[in-house]
Amino acid sequence: MITRQEVNAARQKAANILAQTGVVINQAEIDRMEVVDFGLSELEISGAQILTLVDTDQIAAKLLVMLPYQTEPEHRHPRLGDYPGKEETIRCEWGELYLYGPGEPARSPKGRPPDHRRETYTVWHEYVLRPGDQVTFQPDTPHWFQGGPEGAVIWSFSTKVIDVQDIFTDPAIQRETVIVD
Amino acid sequence: MITRQEVNAARQKAANILAQTGVVINQAEIDRMEVVDFGLSELEISGAQILTLVDTDQIAAKLLVMLPYQTEPEHRHPRLGDYPGKEETIRCEWGELYLYGPGEPARSPKGRPPDHRRETYTVWHEYVLRPGDQVTFQPDTPHWFQGGPEGAVIWSFSTKVIDVQDIFTDPAIQRETVIVD
């Protein structure tokens, strides 16, 4: 749960970061940017600001703004009936992103999930993405990421998005953010 | 057919335009940018410079650079067996794009296809795209576009790409560009 004021403040911070990237965004797009707290009510620790540019029955293209050290919690995009699940390429446009998936764990990972949720982060193979770097995850692959010291702007190019069906490792998470006045 | 020298010159022009956009591209990506003449051997009139960022079995994300008044000829992405054909969102990042698809024809279109190929352009509903504007085409929809006075940089977010299966209205077109030394 977050307040309308928190949403507006996060959107403004995200807009300020986006303005540094050179990627052109309409005001109407800024105004509808989604601010997500994953139901954890600690937006600047666990959260994301998401601008959806394309969202059809087939594909999606999104810009995500991560505030400094803000973390998108570990999750995966599962198979749903005939749909094999969301395949996703994450490409860094600005800043630095600490991205984790399955594989050999990093010995000294740069990303630090919130201490009180540490056990809900299970994959530790590290990709440090800087502008122009990208990684593709097959459907149903657990992953999580965190913005670097200045935050990050990343592209998500993917197949069809069904966010509410995402499976998060942390059972406390609710994908739909509740906003209160 | 174009020469290696023409390819290099077009790639350099495209890189110079891309450098104005603020979208971050790696040098390795610039080096593999595709220069396409559609087999018409008049690259600066009919052609495109294409940088593929994502190309999986499911989706694609590309940046296209159109030189001033350069035209990508009319084409469509047909159904192929079980695949319904490429669905594509075209989003302007920089410059101005004159984009055409089916619908009420423009009375005074801004785009001007090459006079000697005029009869191979059959759809004239006009979209003038400026940075942040976008249009989505369903599979198998004929469309064509032309860069404005300074050219254009556009995103193409789409389902799976099978370029060589594209159907062009102009029978003179070959999708695979032949490069000679």
Give the mean pLDDT of B166-180: 91
d(CA A64, CA A152) in angstroms, rounded, equals 8
Q: In the predicted model, is pLDDT for residue A163 greater than 80?
A: no
- Least confident range of A140-144, B22-26, B58-62, B133-137: B22-26
Confidence of residue A70 (pLDDT cuts 50, 70, 90): very high
Give the mean pLDDT of A45-63: 95
The answer to whether the Cβ–Cβ distance between A29 and B58 falls below 8 Å is: no
Nearest CA in chain A to B58: A159
Q: In the predicted model, is pLDDT for residue B163 greater than 80?
A: no
Choose the closest CB to B157 out of A21, A23, A59: A59
DSSP string across B24-66 = ---HHHHHT-EEE-TTSS-TTTB-EEEEEEEE-SSEEEEEEEE
CA distance A20 to chain B (A): 9
Residue showing tokens 């309308």: A4
User: Which tens digits make up the pLDDT trace of B100-137?
Assistant: 999 999 999 999 999 999 999 999 999 999 999 999 99
Task: Report chain A residues whose CB lies below 8 A from the CB of B54.
Answer: 89, 91, 134, 136, 157
d(CA A93, CA B171) in angstroms, rounded, equals 40
d(CA A83, CA B31) in angstroms, rounded, equals 36
The CATH number for B2-180, chosen from 2.60.40.10, 2.40.50.140, 3.40.640.10, 2.60.120.10, is: 2.60.120.10
Q: In the predicted model, is pLDDT for residue A72 greater than 80?
A: yes
Mean pLDDT of chain A, nearest integer: 94
Q: In the predicted model, is pLDDT for residue A3 greater than 90?
A: yes
Instruction: Give the phi and the psi of residue B37 in degrees, each rounded to 5.
Output: -110, 5
d(CA A1, CA B53) in angstroms, rounded, equals 36
Which is nearest to B69 in space by CA: B141, B181, B155, B148? B148
Q: Which residues of B81-90 are buried (b: 16+ CB within 10 A; e: fewer)?
A: eeeebbbbbb
CA B100 to each of CA A108, A151, A177, B64, B172: distance values in angstroms, whole numbers, following the listed order: 53, 39, 39, 16, 20
The DSSP bridge partners found for residue B147 are B97
Look at residue A165 in the predicted model and tell me its pLDDT.
85
DSSP string across A86-144 = --EEEEEEEEEEEEEESSSPPSS-S----GGGGGG----EEEEE-TT-EEEE-TT--EE
Confidence of residue A110 (pLDDT cuts 50, 70, 90): very high
Instruction: Give the phi and the psi of residue A164 in degrees, each rounded to 5.
Output: -65, -15
Look at residue A176 in the predicted model and tell me its pLDDT.
85
Choose the closest CB to A157 out of B26, B54, B94: B54
CA distance A159 to chain B (A): 7
**Single-letter amino acid code for the residue at B6:** E
d(CA B171, CA B82) in angstroms, rounded, equals 26
Q: What is the ipTM of this complex?
A: 0.87
- Least confident range of A35-39, A88-92, A176-180, B125-129: A176-180
Cα dihedral B91, A128, A165, A44 in deg (nearest 10): -90
Contacts of A22 (CB under 8 A, 6+ apart): B21, B22, B23
Give the mean pLDDT of A152-177: 91
The answer to whether the Cβ–Cβ distance between B53 and A157 falls below 8 Å is: yes
